[in-house]
Amino acid sequence: MSRTARKGSVLTAGPPLSEALGRKNGFGLLRLVLALAVIFAHAMPLGMGKPDLGLLESRGQTNVGAIAVSGFFVLSGLLITRSGMRLSPARFLWNRAIRILPGLWACLLLTAFVVAPVVAYHQGRLAGFWSHPEGPLAYLKANWSIGVYQWGISGLLDHVPHPTAFNGSVWSLAYEVLCYLMVVSLAALGVLRRARWAVTLMILGLYGYVVYLAADFHLLRAPEYAPAGLPGWQLPFLGGISMDMLMPLVLMFGLGALAELYKDRLPINAVLAVLAAAVFLGSARYGGFTVLGLPAFAYLLIWLACRMPGPLTKVGAKVDLSYGVYIYAFPIQQCLALWGVNKHGYWAYTAASLALSVTAAFCSWHLVEKPALKLKDLGLRKPSRPQEGPQAAPARPLSEVAP
Q: What is the DSSP string of 161-176?
A: SS-S-S--TTHHHHHH
Weakest-pLDDT range from 69-78, 222-231, 372-381: 222-231
pLDDT at 67: 95
Q: Which of 6-10, 44-48, 136-140, 245-249 has the lowest mean pLDDT?
A: 6-10
Average of per-residue pLDDT across 116-124:
94
**Ranges 88-92, 157-161, 228-232, 396-400: which has the least confidence:** 396-400
Backbone Cα Rg of the chain: 22
pLDDT at 83: 94
Q: Is 235 helix (H, G, I), strand (E, B) or coil?
A: strand
Question: In this model, does residue 387 exceed pLDDT 70?
Answer: no
What pLDDT does residue 11 have? 64
Name the pLDDT band for 394 (thresholds 50, 70, 90).
very low
Q: Which of 9-23, 68-82, 137-151, 354-368 has the lowest mean pLDDT?
A: 9-23
In this predicted model, which residue has the larger pLDDT, 209 or 391? 209
Q: Give the type of residue at 13.
A: A
350-358 — which CB contacts under 8 Å span 24+ positions? 350/39, 350/40, 350/43, 350/47, 353/39, 353/43, 353/47, 353/329, 354/36, 354/39, 356/332, 357/39, 357/324, 357/325, 357/328, 357/329, 357/332, 357/333, 358/321, 358/325
Contacts of residue 366, Cβ cutoff 8 Å, sequence gap at least 6: 319
3-state SS of the chain: helix, strand, coil percent to 5? 60, 0, 35
At residue 229 the predicted structure's pLDDT band, cuts being 50, 70 and 90, is low
pLDDT at 224: 62
pLDDT of residue 227 exceeding 80, the answer is: no
Query: Is 39 a residue whose pLDDT tops 50?
Result: yes
Number of domains comprising the chain: 1
- Identify the band that residue 70 occupies on the pLDDT scale cut at 50, 70 and 90: very high
Least confident of 15-19, 149-153, 293-297, 374-378: 374-378
CA–CA separation, 289 vs 187, rounded Å?
A: 31
| AA identity, residue 226 | A
Q: Which of 122-126, 211-215, 219-223, 277-281 has the highest mean pLDDT?
A: 277-281
Whole-angstrom distance, CA of residue 269 vs CA of residue 16: 9
Return mean pLDDT, the chain. 89
C-alpha triplet 230, 290, 35: angle, nearest 5°:
100
128 is a domain residue:
no
Amino acid at 138: A
Domain residue limits at 198: 17-114+158-373
In a domain, 142, yes or no: no
In a domain? residue 273: yes
Q: Which string of b and e fits 337-355 if b means at least 16 CB within 10 Å?
A: bbeebbeeeeeebbebbbe
Q: Is the pLDDT of residue 231 over 90?
A: no
Which residues touch 72 (CB under 8 Å, ≥6 apart)?
Answer: 31, 34, 172, 176, 403
Say what the pLDDT of residue 1 is: 43
pLDDT band at 9 (very low <50, low <70, confident <90, very high): low
- pLDDT score of 2 more than 60: no
Residue 107 pLDDT > 60, yes or no? yes
Determine the pLDDT at residue 243.
Answer: 85
CA dihedral 282, 285, 286, 292 (to 10 degrees): 50
Give the ranges where 267-307 is alpha helix by DSSP (H). 270-286, 294-307
Residue 79 reports pLDDT greater than 80? yes
Cross-strand partners of 16: 267
Q: Is 123 inside any structural domain?
A: no
In a domain, 152, yes or no: no
In a domain, 22, yes or no: yes
Q: 221 in a domain, yes or no? A: yes
Residue 346 lies in a domain: yes
Contacts of 35 (CB under 8 A, 6+ apart): 68, 321, 322, 323, 325, 326, 329, 403
Is 322's pLDDT higher than 70?
yes
Res 40: pLDDT: 96
264-302: per-residue pLDDT in tens? 999 999 999 999 999 999 999 999 999 999 999 999 999
Dist CA 376 CA 98 (whole Å): 7
Q: Which pTM does this prediction carry? A: 0.90
